[in-house]
Amino acid sequence: MRRRSLLTAAAATTLAAAPLASGCSSSSPPSPFSGGGSRRGHLTYGVWDVYQLPAMNRAAREFERTRPGVTVDVQLTPNGTYWTKLRTACTGGAAPDVFWMNESPSWAAIPTA
């Protein structure tokens, strides 16, 4: 498999898992597909790696192409502030719908609203 295909497939898989990665709080926020979210069919995708941004944007466009009516807003936050901003956003109920993670065990202890 070519690297480009692998990155696109990995990003599309990540985006497809949006319902699993969303919801940092104990109360479930409205689904962007149910019409109860900020915009129907709109997903936000948080990433930290500026070098991967072009590939993530291409993956988001491909995701949109295969799912008419869905838009994906890829949001870059530099790694130096990504984790603090993400933790704060999760605590406040304003996290991206989908976001990059690593295996950090400290995320198991995020306070929930």
Cα–chain center distance at 55: 14
Mean pLDDT, the chain, rounded, equals 73
**Cross-strand partners of 71:** 42
Residue 112 has pLDDT above 90, yes or no: no
The model carries a pTM of 0.59
Q: Cβ–Cβ contacts within 10 Å for residue 11, how many?
A: 25
What was the pLDDT predicted at 6?
A: 47
Q: Is 60 helix (H, G, I), strand (E, B) or coil?
A: helix
Q: Cβ–Cβ contacts within 10 Å for residue 58, how many?
A: 16
**pLDDT band at 35; cut points 50, 70, 90:** very low
* Residue 57 identity: N
